[in-house]
């Protein structure tokens, strides 16, 4: 079993990959474990200024996004719905 810090590093890398796929212009994020899920807080630049949006993903699904293109694409689509106010590179 992975240590909590190693698991958090993996979750952060997985979240970074999904967020990178969304091509956000400017963003920061943090990942925290909450029970069986990861809470991902994303701060991003919007047309109204800086905004913060809370996302979540199951631990298994977030980690699977590193290895499954299908899981990653679906997660990116779901997150994009929530992060639609964030500015994106064209």
Q: Which residue reads 């993903």 in tokens? A: 57
pLDDT confidence band for 67 (50 / 70 / 90): very high
Mean pLDDT on 66-72: 96
Residue pLDDT, tens place only, 8-63 = 999 999 999 999 999 999 999 999 999 889 999 999 999 989 999 999 999 999 99
- Domain extent at residue 55: 4-82
pLDDT confidence band for 2 (50 / 70 / 90): low
CATH number at residue 40: 3.30.160
- Domains held by the chain: number: 1
* Cα separation of the two ends of the chain: 41
88 within a domain of the structure (yes/no) = no
41 within a domain of the structure (yes/no) = yes
Give every CB contact of residue 13 below 8 A, 6+ residues apart in sequence: 66
């Amino acid at each position: 079993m992975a240590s909590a810090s190693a698991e958090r590093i993996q979750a952060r890398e997985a979240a970074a990959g999904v967020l990178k796929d969304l091509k956000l212009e400017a963003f920061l994020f943090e990942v925290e474990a909450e029970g069986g899920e990861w809470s991902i807080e994303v701060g991003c630049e919007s047309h109204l200024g800086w905004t913060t949006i809370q996302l979540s993903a199951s631990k298994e699904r977030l980690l699977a996004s590193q290895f499954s293109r299908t899981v990653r694409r679906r997660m990116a689509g779901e997150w994009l719905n929530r992060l639609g106010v964030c500015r994106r590179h064209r």
